């Protein structure tokens, strides 16, 4: 069943059955929520606007926003080399820049060679800062062309933390979650305990282990709710429209948001972690062992969508279809407005 803006509830029922899903539709200055299924089958706990989902790689544009804030505050430049930030002879082969990390063009592989993959139930949980530094000593980056890299974004988050003398979790809380009012959002650190966190499920309904992170947290460690992610999108739409009537954050945050949806290199298809569609859409998706997510928005038409699910059933095709429909509806509405 193909989703449409008018049949979202029926689509959720047909697509997800009992699996949990939460959708936010942002359009015409309003946000509508659609909640479906269970956050935890065994506890008969229904999905709510406060259910915490693993958003996986949607973490990456949040890391990109941290980087954009550092650039707008002149704490770093896009041309700053990783070797200069590591500041040690063992890492002189890392001459690519922050811009290359942001756009997956550093030459780093998708994963560090020393990441243990024997147990995929919680693969990043025991990967430490020492492991990351060891991997950086050993790796010799390839060509500076696009290669999607969890390694690169894990490193980027660690570099931002080092430069600001803080942990990644603290940076996210202090610079993004708190200013934007994303009160439930957090970072899934190893051994952490999280209230209202959904249970993840495989596509066949088998329970999956929740994921946790140490040094590669920038690759996918954020936990968030549909309400918080909708708030993020609302703020992005306000910032890109240069409006401030509902804006929760500072002018510096607004400037960083605008910067983060522009290409930092000559590649027009990727911003500061955000994927940039040729038709003017900004988006990213994510997947962990038992979760799927999609977040996208169209700055020109001022519409957006969030889909979070605690199942490995793909949500990106449906999310992109709905976002395109919202964009088209907004364009038609704008054309129908009478001239002043």
- Asked whether residue 2 is domain-assigned, the answer is no
Find, among 281, 293, 321, 234, the residue nearest to 5 by Cα: 321
Task: Say if strands 200-201 and 186-187 run parallel, antiparallel, or are unpaired.
Answer: unpaired
53-54 and 200-201 as β-strands: parallel, antiparallel, unpaired? unpaired
pLDDT digits (tens, 9 = 90+) for 172-212: 999 999 999 999 999 999 999 999 999 999 999 999 999 99
pLDDT band at 244 (very low <50, low <70, confident <90, very high): low
Q: Does residue 37 lie in a domain region?
A: yes
Which tens digits make up the pLDDT trace of 29-59?
899 999 999 999 999 999 999 999 999 999 9
List, for residues 6-29, the tens digit of each pLDDT value.
Answer: 999 999 999 999 899 999 999 988
Which of helix, strand or coil describes residue 132?
Answer: helix
Angle between helix 8-16 and 316-336 (nearest 10): 170
Dihedral angle computed from the Cα positions of residues 150, 155, 161 and 163, in that order, rounded to the nearest 10 degrees: -150
Q: Which domain holds residue 249?
A: 8-336
Q: Which residues contact 18 (CB under 8 A, 6 or more apart)?
A: 37, 38, 41, 205
Rounded Cα distance, 66 and 257, in Å: 9
- What CATH number is associated with residue 88? 3.40.710.10
Rounded CA separation 12/229 (Å) = 19
Beta bridge partners of 189: 213
The DSSP-derived string for 184-217 is T-EE-BTT---TTBPPEE-TTS-EEPPP-BSTTG
Contacts of 140 (CB under 8 A, 6+ apart): 93
Decide: 272 and 61 in contact? Cβ < 8 Å.
yes
For residue 1, is it within any domain?
no
pLDDT tens for each residue of 135-169: 999 999 999 999 999 999 999 999 999 999 999 99
Report the domain count for the chain. Answer: 1
> What was the pLDDT predicted at 237?
96
Q: Are 60 and 153 in contact (CB under 8 A)?
A: yes
pTM of the model: 0.95
């Amino acid at each position: 069943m193909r989703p449409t803006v008018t049949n979202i509830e029926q689509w959720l029922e047909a697509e997800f059955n009992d699996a949990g899903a939460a959708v936010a539709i942002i359009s015409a200055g309003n946000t509508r929520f659609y909640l479906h299924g269970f956050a935890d089958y065994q506890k008969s706990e229904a999905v709510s606007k406060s259910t915490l989902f693993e958003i996986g790689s949607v973490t990456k544009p949040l890391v990109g926003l941290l980087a954009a804030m550092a650039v707008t505050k002149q704490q770093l430049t896009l041309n700053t080399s990783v070797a200069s930030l590591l500041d040690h002879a063992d890492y002189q082969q890392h001459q690519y820049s922050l811009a290359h990390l942001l756009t997956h063009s550093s030459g780093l592989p998708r994963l560090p060679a020393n990441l243990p993959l024997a147990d995929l139930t919680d693969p990043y949980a025991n990967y430490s800062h020492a492991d990351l530094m060891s991997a950086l000593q050993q790796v010799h980056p390839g060509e500076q062309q696009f290669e999607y890299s969890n390694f690169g974004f894990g490193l980027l988050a660690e570099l931002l933390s080092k430069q600001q003398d803080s942990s990644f979790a603290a940076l996210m809380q202090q610079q993004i979650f708190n200013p934007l009012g994303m009160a439930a959002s957090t970072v899934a650190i190893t051994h952490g305990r999280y209230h209202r966190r959904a249970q993840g499920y495989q596509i066949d309904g088998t329970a999956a282990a929740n994921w946790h992170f140490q040094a590669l947290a920038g690759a996918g460690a954020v936990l968030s709710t549909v309400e918080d992610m909708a708030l993020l999108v609302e703020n992005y739409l306000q910032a890109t429209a240069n409006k401030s009537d509902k804006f929760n954050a500072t002018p510096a945050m607004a400037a960083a948001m605008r910067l983060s949806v522009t290409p930092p290199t000559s590649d027009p298809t990727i911003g500061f972690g955000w994927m940039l569609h040729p038709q003017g859409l900004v988006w990213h998706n994510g997947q962990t062992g038992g979760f799927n997510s999609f977040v996208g928005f169209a700055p020109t038409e001022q519409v957006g969508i969030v889909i979070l699910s605690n199942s490995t059933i793909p949500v990106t095709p449906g999310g992109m279809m709905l976002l395109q429909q919202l964009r088209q509806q907004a364009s038609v509405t704008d054309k129908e407005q009478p001239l002043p």
